[in-house]
Amino acid sequence: MKALIIVDVQNDFLPGGALEVAHGDEIIEQINRILPKYEIVVATQDWHPLNHKSFASSHVENNVFDVIEWNGYQQTLWPNHCVQGTPGAEFSSLLDTNRIQVIFRKGMDKKVDSYSGFYDNLKSHSTGLDGFLKSKNVDEVHICGLAADFCVYFTAIDALELGYKSVIISKGTKAIDKDAYMKKKELFLQKGGLFI
């Protein structure tokens, strides 16, 4: 059974948003077009408290996009984005949300960032996505959304590690940093991931 995972198609990641992905809005039409092909459709939603430690505003000595050592790993400091209950955290009004069966929120623990739709970055908390997919006998996931080099990529990698056939929909995602994404694409392919 195949499932579609729509990652973080939220206003703050779209043009004009707090952490916009260039041309990120261009993928929405493609996602809406493929939705009817899937019996199971889920979405992830970045849902940060205002004082999240991945925000540069929580580190007065640092700037946005600085990379610091934090919790034992390299942490990029982001502008405040997808803050719980704000318009920036809402799904784009252009996205057809009627077919989304379940929404898995991530990034709610202020002490750890959360790129993947399955776990936080320390893998200390599960979102419940894996359990839901297994309950539906899903063995293959097709992943789209934003951003390709962060939340889409880490969701796809975790899917592989959890035993799913993991496929990234190329026309359904955009990267923040295209060069960095090219390197991550190679790694994803080496680990057995696929692109369509």
Q: What is the CATH number of the domain that holds 94?
A: 3.40.50.850
pLDDT greater than 90 at residue 17? yes
**41 within some domain:** yes
**Any domain includes 64:** no
Q: Comparing C-alpha atoms, which of 143, 141, 162, 165 is closest to residue 152?
A: 143
Spatial contact of 105 and 44, defined as CB atoms under 8 Å apart: yes
Return the axis-axis angle of helices 178-190 and 153-161, rounded to nearest 10°.
10
Q: What is d(CA 38, CA 35) in angstroms, rounded to the nearest whole number?
A: 6
Q: Judge whether 58 lies within some domain.
A: no
Using pLDDT thresholds of 50, 70 and 90, give the confidence band for residue 179: very high
pTM for the full predicted model: 0.97
For residue range 47-65, what is the model confidence (pLDDT) as tens digits? 999 999 999 999 999 999 9
For residue 21, is it within any domain?
yes
Residue 108 resides in a domain = yes
Domain, as residue range, for 162: 2-48+86-195
Whether the pLDDT of residue 72 is over 90: the answer is no
Which positions are catalytic? Answer: 8, 106, 151
Domain count, the chain: 1
